Structure 1
Amino acid sequence: MKKHCILFFLICCLTEYSYAQVTKAENSHELINQYAREYMESANDYAVVFSGLDQPKLINNIKSAYLRTKGYKELDDWGYETYNIESSANGKFDEGDLLYDGVVYPKISMRLDLYTDELMVLTPNITYRIVLDPGRVGYANFNGYHIIYVPSNANIKLPKGYYQQLYSGSSSVLRKESFSYNRQSENLVNWTRKYYICKDGISYNVKNKKAVLKVFKSHKKELERYIKDTGINFNDMESALPLVVEQYDKLTGK
């Protein structure tokens, strides 16, 4: 079971960013309140973001997998794309803009856990990794992606969680990466990357050109011509899908 470190520990430990000297407190309750005031002052307008639960430790303290920078690829010995959890590229925080509780916070250090599906921010003293409440996340822009959270009660029927929004118009394109845990090997396994086209309130999981054209069968011929003329390569779904879906929106005038 996941165990979270409560904000109490965060407040008590973030003293290096406080500039007021702690005076003698009559009891522990006063001391905690004083640390809390100083933390809120040092965090300023960002305090609402840096308050929450610390990232839980994974089973057997294994290393997790995180969303990597857009365009970053690792290949195995056979030339197929792979994900190396032990790579130095895994787990890095990246600065970006965060819309949280309706307020945009710039230059926030963030990363997205692909196993727990949690978005977290790094505190100013680089000590705690605060897991954000997904219901309060409007969007997060980092690692070259625009990331949104789709709740379980969304109009579009999609598994709830964080998605990379690759295109947004009348139709939209979403991408999701994930891992699962194997108890026998005690490792993260089954790295998956799924792409969805959302059109007219319905989501379609697409894996190749044929599946994409089936979604847009009313304009299949026009899109086939567009794909051929522009040389779109569906081996790179991340680049191909936004172009084709945007062209569909233009053809339909939506």
Structure 2
Amino acid sequence: MNHRVIWVILIALLLPCTVFGQRASVDSSFREQAIRYAHARYVRSTADQARLYNGAEYVGHLPTIKGYPYLDSLWRTGSVTYDGITYQNIRLLYDLVDDVVVVPHIDSVYRMQLQNIKVSQFSIADHHFIRIVRDTAHNIGLRTGFYDQLYDGRSKVLAKRVKTIRTELVQNAVKEEYLSENSFYIGKNGLFYPVKTKRSVLNLFADQKKILRKYLRENRIKFAKNREAAIVKLTQQYDAATRSL
């Protein structure tokens, strides 16, 4: 619980007791219980926050590199499940170069890098990322890392978002910039398959290929124009077409 909320509770509880100082002893007992409860919640809350803000300092990248290494150039308010606890309304950055989640330290100007192994999921800027561990029973075909969960139905669609740093020597000067790359995976029958082209998606859903081709034509979906949206829509349509199978 946020400590500000706790103080509001305490003020609300104590104010009537101040105005009406002659309340019965039962009211005094209730007030003491409320104070102890609020204090205990505050202690537990700060202990939980200490668990979140105990990572290593995040150093980041050189400011001379063109662009930015994050999913978004600005801090965004989101949520993160860390070490089994879900924290809401947390300012986050997601470093796509190092594949790490960054939070501002609660007591200073430092930025903290969360331990990947303790992050099970986080949401930021309308994206929901989950941590996949390589070659577990239901994640065969993926490397360990954070994946953007685009569709979570009978079939699955994940995106692996990565940034790399390109270095060039131009007129005896080193110039660097961030390059973005997205890879897409469809989960079917417990396995994940990389998909890139319309053909690769249709071949994966070969048992419904004719229906899916018709769906693309009738809805004027241009795969090359928006590959990500097309992959999601085709997967959703496949699940709809095979729902009774």
Secondary structure of the 1:212 match is helix
Q: TM-score, normalised by structure 2?
A: 0.70
* Equivalent residue, structure 2, for 1:172: 156
Secondary structure of the 2:215 match is helix
* Greater shift in the superposed pair: 108-117 or 186-195: 186-195
Identity %: 31
* Equivalent residue, structure 2, for 1:122: 104
* Greater shift in the superposed pair: 53-62 or 147-156: 53-62
* Equivalent residue, structure 1, for 2:58: 55
Q: Contact (CA 8 Å) 1:156, 1:198: kept in 2 or not? A: no
Q: Partners in 2 of 1:164 and 1:53 — Cα distance?
A: 24
Match of 1:161 among 145, 150, 153: 145
Matches within 5 A, 1:1-254: 43-58=46-61, 62=65, 64-68=68-72, 90=73, 92-125=74-107, 127-154=109-136, 155-182=139-166, 185=174, 187-234=176-223, 235-253=225-243
Change in 2 beyond 3 A, CA 1:148/1:211 = same
Q: Contact (CA 8 Å) 1:135, 1:151: kept in 2 or not? A: no
* Equivalent residue, structure 2, for 1:72: none
Q: Please identify which structure carries the higher helix content.
A: 2
Q: Partners in 1 of 2:65 and 2:186 — Cα distance?
A: 34
Q: Which amino acid aligns with 2:196?
A: K
* Greater shift in the superposed pair: 200-209 or 180-189: 180-189
Q: Contact (CA 8 Å) 1:122, 1:130: kept in 2 or not? A: yes
Greater gyration radius: 2
Secondary structure of the 1:152 match is coil
Q: Contact (CA 8 Å) 2:141, 2:193: kept in 1 or not? A: no
* Equivalent residue, structure 2, for 1:83: none
Secondary structure of the 1:174 match is strand
Aligned residues, how many? 193
Q: Partners in 2 of 1:105 and 1:120 — Cα distance?
A: 14
Q: CA deviation at 1:240?
A: 1.9
Q: Contact (CA 8 Å) 2:130, 2:147: kept in 1 or not? A: yes
* Equivalent residue, structure 1, for 2:7: none
**Unpaired stretches in structure 2, ≥5 consecutive residues:** 1-42, 169-173
**Unpaired stretches in structure 1, ≥5 consecutive residues:** 1-39, 69-89
Instruction: Supply the RMSD in Å over aligned alpha carbons.
Output: 2.5
Q: Partners in 1 of 2:135 and 2:193 — Cα distance?
A: 17
Q: Contact (CA 8 Å) 1:140, 1:147: kept in 2 or not? A: yes
Q: Partners in 2 of 1:61 and 1:160 — Cα distance?
A: 30
